[in-house]
Amino acid sequence: MDLLLPGPGLAEWLLAALGGKKVALWTGADAGRGRGGRAARATTAALRERLGWVELAGASGLDGLVVVLALGGAEPPAGALQAVQGGGTLVELAHPPVVPWWRPSRWAARAELVRRASETRAGVWLGRGCFAVEQWAPIDAPRLLVTCGRVRAIPGS
């Protein structure tokens, strides 16, 4: 998929989708670099404080999981979705890796990475136990790839 449709503003959408729910936040070690990464980190940090999101480690019975990571970087733990109850929401905020301005030859490589990653991110979450997966880019952070879906009620089915 080379074209991602623009979606709503990120903070407003997250607030509407996850407000009043028990949500965990997992942030990759390399998340938060670049314009898209900073936008994802700032938004999730503000919402974590406002809505009382918890850390993923040791959490269970969650209504949702928010994952912030860099494309091609660290992946969330394989059992991350086990903490989310059936029908819960998964939201992944992925941003492209940073390319130093003095390395323009890597810009094309980053564009290719983003294109390939946008094609495979939905497949990763489908394979881990999600359904109704969709992808879009927020209008206020167009360099961010949002992949969201629902967690299956019956694991492994």
Name all domains of the chain by residue range, CATH numbers in brackets.
6-151 (3.40.50)
25: β partners: 55, 66
Nearest to 37 by CA among 2, 10, 65: 10
Q: In whole angstroms, what is the distance from residue 8 CA to residue 116 CA?
A: 23
Question: Looking at the DSSP assignment, which residues form a beta bridge with residue 54?
Answer: 24
pLDDT tier, 48 (very low <50, low <70, confident <90, very high otherwise): very high
pTM: 0.85
Grade residue 137 by pLDDT with cuts at 50, 70 and 90.
confident
CA distance 146 to 138: 7
Confidence at residue 21, expressed as pLDDT on a 0 to 100 scale: 95
Average pLDDT value for the chain:
83
| Helix (H), strand (E) at residue 81 | none
Looking at per-residue pLDDT, the higher value among 115 and 146 belongs to 146
pLDDT recorded at residue 2: 43
Contact predicate 74/30, CB 8 Å: yes
Provide the greatest CA pair distance for the chain: 49
User: Cα(21)–Cα(7) distance, rounded to whole angstroms?
Assistant: 22
| φ, ψ at 39 (rounded to 5°) | -65, -45
Position 106 pLDDT exceeds 60: yes
Structure tokens at 116: 């390939």
CA–CA dist 151, 130 (Å, integer): 4
> What mean pLDDT comes out for the span 113-117?
74
pLDDT grade, residue 1 (50/70/90)? very low
Please compute the mean of the pLDDT values over residues 107-113 and round it to a whole number: 68
